[in-house]
Amino acid sequence: MTQREAPAMLKQAESPYRTLRVKAQPTGFGAEITGLDLTHPLSKDALADVKAAWARHAVVAFPDQPLTLDQLEAYTLQIGAFGEDPFIKPMPGHPNVLELRREPDEKATNFGAGWHSDWSFQATPPAATILHSEVVPPVGGDTLFCDGARAYEALSPTMQKMLAPLQAVHSATRAYGTQGVFAKETAKRTLQIITSSEADKSLTHPLVRTHPVTGRKALFISPVYTVGIEGLTPQESAAILGFLFQHMTADAFVYRHKWRPKMLLMWDNRCTMHFAEGGYDGHLRLMHRTTVAGDTPV
Ligand code: SIN
């Protein structure tokens, strides 16, 4: 059994306070954690176990956590400093919380409906995103995650070698740029998006990134924010990225997260992409989101 397939019982037995239970998905990607109350600060041991489970499973869900905004902020700060959230107006009085509210009468495409890793166009993209559900629609609204590490490991050694020196070009232009989808949008959207020429800038990150905690390599690209590969023609970039996006989003590497109200979900942007599914027109969906600052990808 590999380390990332270690069963939930092992984690519980390792835990001196013996309340945390980790139920991992069969693939090891994604897990549900119970036995903790996130409305209060975690003990040192519990926090270490949460961080270890997060590193191992990349996407961790904590059901039944009725957090206030202050408690969501306090939990976030236990994981790390807040990240910087550009292009979206934060909640009044909570500059580090985004309210992802989609009203029943909204027809605009739901926010996050494209595979991406949060703010990967930043020099130091967020390590974690934390999303807390307030109102979950009765249909649709799942969040899909793909495992960039296992997808990388499934590539042939020859392909891995070819990708190793490549730098991917990241930009927010397609979404938040002056000619991006949000700039052209006319339909009602409750979420207040601020499009800007700042979004048209770009920078590069290694196409294959090494996780600072686990040491695993992962594909660090996404169809929303990766706009090319340095030194390749647009056609060459499109061919390689197109293949990789198709490969990464194969069912074998995807975990579908189904929400229940008052769930906290924390994912690792350093080795995953995610996609917010729609399918809930006519229903309210309401979430609160924070990010945790990350490092320069290497
Ligand atoms: C996002 O952060 O991309 C949104 C995810 C979601 O609403 O499920």
CB of 175 sitting under 6 A from ligand 1:
no
Across 171-200, average pLDDT: 96
pTM for this entry: 0.93
Residue 207, ligand 1, Cβ within 6 A: no
The string over 48-80, giving b where at least 16 C-beta atoms fall within 10 Å of a residue's C-beta and e elsewhere, is ebbbbbbbbbbbbbbeebebebebbbebbeebe
Q: pLDDT band at 19, cuts 50/70/90?
A: confident
Contacts of 215 (CB under 8 A, 6+ apart): none
Tell how far the Cα of 37 is from the centroid of ligand 1, in angstroms.
23
Read off the amino acid at residue 252. Answer: A
Q: Is 112 in the pocket of ligand 1 (CB under 6 A)?
A: yes
Give pLDDT tens digits for 233-260: 999 999 999 999 999 999 999 999 999 9
CB of 292 closer than 6 angstroms to any ligand 1 atom: no
Report domain extents, the chain.
5-292
Question: What is the token pair recorded at 31?
Answer: 């897990």
Distance 113 CA to ligand 1 centre (A): 8
What is the model's pLDDT at position 1? 34
Q: Which residue in this structure is represented by tokens 């600060």?
A: 41
- Atom 1 of ligand 1 has which residue's CA nearest to it? 112
Range 5-292: architecture per CATH: 4-Layer Sandwich (3.60)
- Is the beta carbon of 126 within 6 A of some atom in ligand 1? no
Query: 98, 109, 110, 131: which to mutate for ligand 1, most atoms within 8 A of CB?
Result: 131
Considering the chain, what is the average pLDDT of its residues?
Answer: 94
- Read off the pLDDT band of 16 (50, 70, 90): low
Quickly state the pLDDT bin for 156 (edges 50, 70, 90).
Answer: very high
